[in-house]
Amino acid sequence: MTPGEWGISIAIVVDMRNSESDFVVIDAVQGELTAHVIKSHLESEGIPVLMQYESAGAIYGLTVNGIGEVRILVPKELVEEAKRIIKLSE
């Protein structure tokens, strides 16, 4: 049985303090749904993605006045490839 079948939620916490500086923002979008679509697309192409956002937007579902803004980050060395992939999917 998987953890989900047991009704158990698993959260994976990764300490990115040392390597976060190796990631740069390539895009900022409104809402987590759009951000997750972009994240999934980039990850399917082998590009690791981090997302930065304010917790209020995630908790309350707010997407106004920048509260629901989600920043998409990728490793510095993959910025051009990630931007190309995003542009092709628009």
* Domain-embedded: residue 38: yes
For 56, the domain range is 20-89
Q: Considering only residues 3 and 53, tell me which one the structure prediction assigns the higher pLDDT.
A: 53
> Which pLDDT score is estimated for 28?
92
* Domain-embedded: residue 59: yes
* Domain-embedded: residue 60: yes
* Domain-embedded: residue 7: no
* Domain-embedded: residue 57: yes
* Domain-embedded: residue 3: no
* Domain-embedded: residue 11: no
Cα–Cα dist 28/3, whole Å: 33
SS3 85: helix
* Domain-embedded: residue 15: no
Residue with tokens 């190309």, as numbered in its chain: 84
pLDDT band at 90 (very low <50, low <70, confident <90, very high): confident
| Domain of residue 63, CATH code | 3.30.70
Per-residue pLDDT reduced to its tens digit, 8-25: 544 444 455 545 568 999
Phi (first) and psi of residue 80, to 5 degrees: -60, -45
Cα–Cα dist 68/76, whole Å: 25
pTM for this prediction: 0.69
Per-residue pLDDT reduced to its tens digit, 35-80: 999 999 999 999 999 999 877 666 666 666 667 788 999 999 999 9
* CB atoms near residue 90 (< 10 Å): 4
> Which pLDDT score is estimated for 42?
96
What is the number of domains present in the chain? 1
